[in-house]
Amino acid sequence: MTATQGDVVAAEIAAEQAHVDKVYAELAKAAQRVELIHAEGMARGQTDRRGTGDPREEELAGLFERDALVYTAGKRRASLEQQHEGLVFGRLDLEHTTPDEDGRTREVRYVGRLGVRDDDYEPLVVDWRAPAAAPFYRATPVDPQGVIRRRVLRCRGEQVVGVEDDLMVAEAPDDVVVVGDGALMAALTRSRGAQMRDIVATIQQHQDEAIRAPARGVTEITGGPGTGKTVVALHRAAYLLYSDRRRFEGGGVLVVGPSSAYTAYIERVLPSLGEDSVVLRSIGDVVAGVGATRLDQPAVAALKGSLRIRQLLSRLSRAPIPGAPTLLRTFVAGYAIRLEQSDLDRARRQVLRHHHRNSAYDAAVDALAAIAWEQVLQGEREEFIGRFTDSGDVETFMRQWWRPLDPRELLLWLADEHTIRRLGVPPREAEVIAGSYQEALRIGSWSVADMALIDDLQARLGPMVDLPSEERGFYEIEELDDASQYGVAALRAGSGDEHVAGDHGALGDASAAQRLSQDPRERLLAGRLGEPEEYAHVLVDEAQDLSPMQWRMLGRRGRWASWTVVGDLAQASWDNLEEAARAREEAFGTLPRQAFHMDTNYRNAREIFELAARMIQEHVPDADIPAAVRETGVEPGELTVPANQMVGAVIEEVQRLLEEVDGQVAVIAPWSWHEQLGQVVDRRAGDSRSLLIDPLSTKGLEYDATVVVDPDAIVAESPGGVRALYVVLTRAAHRMTVLRIGG
């Protein structure tokens, strides 16, 4: 009796299962070792004087050691747990030209999310990032690199449930069985989850080249929609950490994306690849201690994003504090001193020529003293200056005239149109800017574009330094002033203290304060800004959308960094691309460049992408159009419905699509439809399989199916116009319906 194809596959699966079992057994041993280290670490921290609050020095050393051990063990355990699923995903059968020491030319090599060795230190699985794993991604029939067969193992938990082979030589040797229809197609046909998955088992050769490119300088990854730019860039981050852990884990890797929906969407990819030290931020969350999700009207965002705004910020950072005293009258060393507004302005200008405002308190006192001396010119100059500097009146005056300035406070000065006009802004722009900060004060939240302005002002003002302290109360001990470091920021926030958390780690506390406060102004100023954190590598996704001011903001965080920059100009929602390109060049300086272009669309079924491509080519003839590799045989639906029947049509389409796909169905609608549609479709992804989302928030995301509502309004409403619609039309993997308004 001959074996059926099913029997052959079952036998292959059973053989792979035997190896996978061995790996998990080894892993269980490793987990036990981790437990032992954990237990040992905890034991070292035991102290016989618990509760006295007075640990001996050797106990402190014990505690430190314990933390280090527990930390390492915990990290290893977390990574073992996260990579448990699908730990082994690949196998290479290689034929070498020169035999090994035992005279064999054949080798079997398994590839997985991490490297595992047996007791003899023989590799059971090679980490996908190790050089030994490279042929898994690089071998092709034209250049097999010694590979006869590449096999992808599909696992559920610890069970191998399928194998998919690619043969790299013209004919398989007799003992090498080839099964399956190819792993890539199987992966692309599957349903999309609410979160992005890693593609470690099916990375394609051209993607692998970008992933493993050297870390130097700037790596640009371009390509049309769905070409895997994001997922490739994330694998690249994992690869860089593996290839030079000291540099990148120590220096930090920052990944910046367009929105918090995007960061939530991609947040599982890196942990599933064994990396949890990467910092993910949306562009509204880059500045430590403050965050924003609100978007300005396009005209306002354009004004705030352009480099022209820097002139206003420069003047603002040197302007007098509104409401601060305009006259200093006092007696020093028996002389009556009177410093008028013009004297004060002169002193301020002199000081700001050479100093950051927030660190120039002493210089400002000196400047005032020098001007006061001009009114005296009798006796000893040094003695007079000393008496002036020590004067209680002068200190009281300085507390108002030269207090530490929070950049956010300066932006709020702009809510007053007269202030802006005094700073030389033309009336129409002054009105737009004032209106935007009046709105911020009304609703108590910043806009995403404000973050880059806050950052720019912070660079001009310097970090906030507390004024020289007044005499302290007896119980007010030094350390408690900065208790935020010890995790009590939320308490201070609750007590109404504006100066909450001092670093990004405590951002959550700042937002706790924001939630607690009823007063919009207090919410805007809650928490304390941290200083810009610098990184060894900065990865920017949807880079085509960054404004020039946002490039400057990122530039401050990557002054010594290498970069990976990902984008597609045809999807841009920023219209002055030339100015943004200049700001971006400035951020990169003279760093060397390398470029990778992705030209295969792995997301959209061909039928869906053709509709999107036709639309964008009509308006942007030089758009970068990839080739879609998968077909479903189902054309996207295009319906025209009267406006008053739109809600019903949406409900009907959602119902229909939910039956056709296993994953999520997104209704992508312009804001003008959100109120009506919000009553029938969930606004948030949550557990529900259908959701309502606005066009801009879909950047970088994907769904099994989409219902695109009123495309003309999407174009009219978005700063990117047709480019925004192009983004929207390329979000669906399997099914799409476009609902136009008409007749």
Ligand X SMILES: Nc1ncnc2c1ncn2[C@@H]1O[C@H](COP(=O)(O)OP(=O)(O)OP(=O)(O)O)[C@@H](O)[C@H]1O
- Tell me if 509 contacts ligand X by CB under 6 A: no
Site for ligand X in 168-187 (CB under 6 A): 184, 187
How many other CB atoms are found less than 10 A from the CB of residue 355?
16
Q: How far is the CB of 184 from ligand X (least distance, A)?
A: 6
List the one residue out of 462, 348, 362, 345 whose CA is nearest residue 407: 462
By CB under 6 A, residue 230 contacts ligand X: yes
Residue nearest to ligand X (CB): 228
| Joined tokens for residue 2 | 């001959």
Judged by CB under 6 A, which of 62, 226, 530, 711 binds ligand X?
226
226 labelled binding-site residue = yes
Q: Which amino acid is at 639?
A: L
Which residue, 368 or 566, has its beta carbon nearer to ligand X? 566
Site string for ligand X, 584-623 (x = CB under 6 A): ------------------xx--------------------
Binding of ligand X by 207 (CB under 6 A): yes
Specify the DSSP element, H or E, that contains 362: helix 361-376
Residue 558 annotated as part of some ligand binding site:
no
Q: Which span (162-170, 229-237, 502-510, 677-685) binds ligand X, by CB under 6 A?
A: 229-237
Instruction: Note whether 86 binds ligand X by CB under 6 A.
Output: no
Amino acid at 673: W
Q: Which is nearer to ligand X, 41 or 224 (CB)?
A: 224
Give the residue with the Cβ less far from ligand X, 89 or 242.
Answer: 89
C-beta of 189 vs 326, nearer to ligand X? 189
Q: Which stretch binds ligand X (CB under 6 A): 224-232, 273-281, 361-369, 669-677?
A: 224-232
Q: Which is nearer to ligand X, 201 or 739 (CB)?
A: 201
Q: Which of 702, 704, 710, 717 binds ligand X (CB under 6 A)?
A: 702
235 counts as binding ligand X under rule CB under 6 A: no
**Is residue 568 a contact point for ligand X (CB under 6 A)?**
yes
Quote the least distance from Cβ 267 to ligand X, whole Å.
14
For residue 50, give both structure tokens: 């618990």
Which of 79, 82, 83, 202 contacts ligand X by CB under 6 A?
A: 202
User: What does the alpha-carbon distance between residue 492 and residue 481 come to, in Å, rounded to a whole number?
Assistant: 10
Candidate ranges 73-81, 223-231, 483-491, 617-625; the one touching ligand X (CB under 6 A): 223-231
Specify the residue, 450 or 545, whose C-beta has the smaller distance to ligand X.
545
Residue 98 in marked binding region: no
Q: Is 204 in the site for ligand X (CB under 6 A)?
A: yes
Q: Is 334 annotated as a binding residue?
A: no
Cβ neighbours of residue 600 under 8 Å, at least 6 residues apart? 204, 206, 227, 228, 626, 627, 628, 629
Q: Is residue 389 a known part of a binding site? A: no
Give, for 692, the enclosing helix (H) or strand (E).
strand 690-693
225 is in an annotated binding site: yes
Q: 156 or 329: whose CB is closer to ligand X?
A: 156
- The rounded distance, in Å, linking the Cα atoms of 70 and 38 is 5
Round to whole Å and give the CA distance between 431 and 440: 14
Q: What backbone torsions phi and psi does residue 92 show, to the nearest 5 degrees?
A: -115, 135
Q: Which stretch binds ligand X (CB under 6 A): 74-82, 222-230, 407-415, 516-524?
A: 222-230
Give the list of residues 6+ apart from residue 689 with CB closer than 8 angstroms, or none: 658, 663, 664, 665
Copy the structure tokens of residue 295.
């978007």
- Positive or negative torsion for Cα 636, 640, 646, 649: negative
Q: Is 86 annotated as a binding residue?
A: no
Question: What secondary structure, in 3-state letters, does 645-673 show?
Answer: HHHHHHHHHHHHHHHHCCCCEEEECCHHH
DSSP state of 212: T
CB of 196 to ligand X, least distance (A): 6
Beta strands 627-630 and 562-567 are unpaired
* Residue whose CB is less far from ligand X, 70 or 199: 199
Rg, the chain, Cα only: 31
Question: Is 532 an interacting residue with respect to ligand X (CB under 6 A)?
Answer: no
Residue 257 binding ligand X, by CB under 6 A: no
Q: What is the DSSP string of 52-74?
A: SS---HHHHHHHHHHHHHHHHHH
The distance in angstroms from the start CA to the end CA of the chain is 67
Q: What's the order of all strands across the beta sheet hosting 665-668? A: 637-641, 732-741, 703-709, 665-668, 690-693
Should residue 227 be labelled a site residue for ligand X when binding is judged by CB under 6 A? yes
Q: How far is the CB of 166 from ligand X (least distance, A)?
A: 13
Residue 228 counted as an annotated binding residue? yes
In the complex, the residues that contact ligand X under the rule CB under 6 A are: 184, 187-188, 199, 202-204, 207, 223, 225-231, 568, 571, 602-603, 700, 702, 730
Give the annotated binding-site residues. 223-230
Give the annotated binding-site residues for ATP. 223-230
